Amino acid sequence: MSPLIGHRRVVSPRRAAAAVLTTALLIPLAACGDDSGSARGEGSGSAAATGAPKADLTVLAASSLTDVFKAAGAAYEKENPGTKVTFSFAGSQELSAQVKQGAPADALVTADTRTMDGLSGDTGKPTIIAKNRLVIATGEGNPAEVGSLEDLADPKLKVVLAAPEVPVGRYGAQILDAQNIEVKPVSQEPNVRAVLSKVSLGEADAGLVYRTDAATATDKVDAIDIPDGQNAIASYPAATLKTSQHSEAAAAFVAWLSTPAAQTILRGAGFQQP
């Protein structure tokens, strides 16, 4: 096994999350008037100013957004009294299935553009709101001394990955294949949080997760950085659903995700600029 490299502990999310949420609740919403900036997740924020249509919104969102969207939802409700945002979190492929089955919801945020593109007939125009990277998650203290992607090929290691139809599983397969690394996982999970859970509970020695997910469990896992040249970038598109019964309110929320207030929350949780 190679020597430990790139090993770092992620900043504790408890203090960071509290600070981010407090800051977000105090930041006034700012309008973004550049409609040409949708490729970077900017430009449609003006529709999300205080006074957006009041409604009870249901947002389908990728599992890796679980913690940060709870903070974002609280901030949005604070700025828009009378509006309630309820999130339903699952793997992006599960969310796609729900949309195709007609699940009642108002907006969708996935962890990849492929899933969103496959639903173009069911959604409005998507906007990229954030990006992410993968890390290797190991048990706290890295007892297996994992230092690189190459170490995951060690047959003595219990490695868990997300299933190939899951965005993080697809990204993981992509970076392993690019390095000609063959990994035989002990299990393939339905979403990134399930992978993180296996590692944090000691049921696996290592797994590939998003950097932001590892940051939510720093008391249970360590995060091993993957060099940029070997990594993959995950893009998170958001869009309204055409079946929404609250189309204007849904559009306002999706637009708000590109405003400085929302972007502050996402950056604080470790997500990258879109």
Q: What is the pLDDT of residue 52?
A: 81
Residue 155: Cβ-neighbour burial (10 angstroms; 0-12, 13-18, 19+): exposed
Do 253 and 107 touch, CB atoms closer than 8 A?
A: yes
Parts of the chain with a pLDDT under 50: 1-49
How far apart are the C-alpha atoms of 267 and 273, rounded to whole Å?
Answer: 7
Pick the CATH number of 14-131+234-268 from 3.90.1300.10, 3.40.190.10, 3.30.460.80, 3.40.50.150: 3.40.190.10
Structure token digits, residue 236? 């998170």
Q: What is the pLDDT of residue 249?
A: 97
Residue of 161, 198, 193 lying closest to 177 (CA atoms): 161
Rg (CA), the chain: 19
Q: What is the pLDDT of residue 25?
A: 40
Look up the CATH superfamily of 7-12+132-233. Answer: Periplasmic binding protein-like II (3.40.190.10)
How far apart are the C-alpha atoms of 135 and 210, rounded to whole Å?
Answer: 6
Q: What is the pLDDT of residue 86?
A: 98
Structure token digits, residue 270? 């470790």
**Location of structure tokens 């409700």:** 77
Question: Within 10 A of 35 (CB to CB), how many other CB atoms are there?
Answer: 10
How far apart are the C-alpha atoms of 11 and 16, rounded to whole Å?
Answer: 8
**Location of structure tokens 């390095």:** 179
Q: What is the pLDDT of residue 107?
A: 98
Whole-model pTM?
0.81
Q: What is the pLDDT of residue 95?
A: 98
Which residues on neighbouring strands pair with residue 8, listed in sequence order? Answer: 223
Q: Strand (E) positions, 21-154?
A: 56-62, 84-90, 107-109, 127-139
Residue 220: Cβ-neighbour burial (10 angstroms; 0-12, 13-18, 19+): middle
Q: In the chain, which segments carry CATH 3.40.190.10? A: 7-12+132-233, 14-131+234-268
Do 46 and 30 touch, CB atoms closer than 8 A?
A: no
How far apart are the C-alpha atoms of 38 and 60, rounded to whole Å?
Answer: 20
DSSP notation for 174-212: HHHHHTT-----SEEESSHHHHHHHHHTTS-SEEEEEHH
Structure token digits, residue 180? 């000609």
Q: What is the pLDDT of residue 134?
A: 98
Q: What is the pLDDT of residue 55?
A: 94
Structure token digits, residue 131? 């990006």
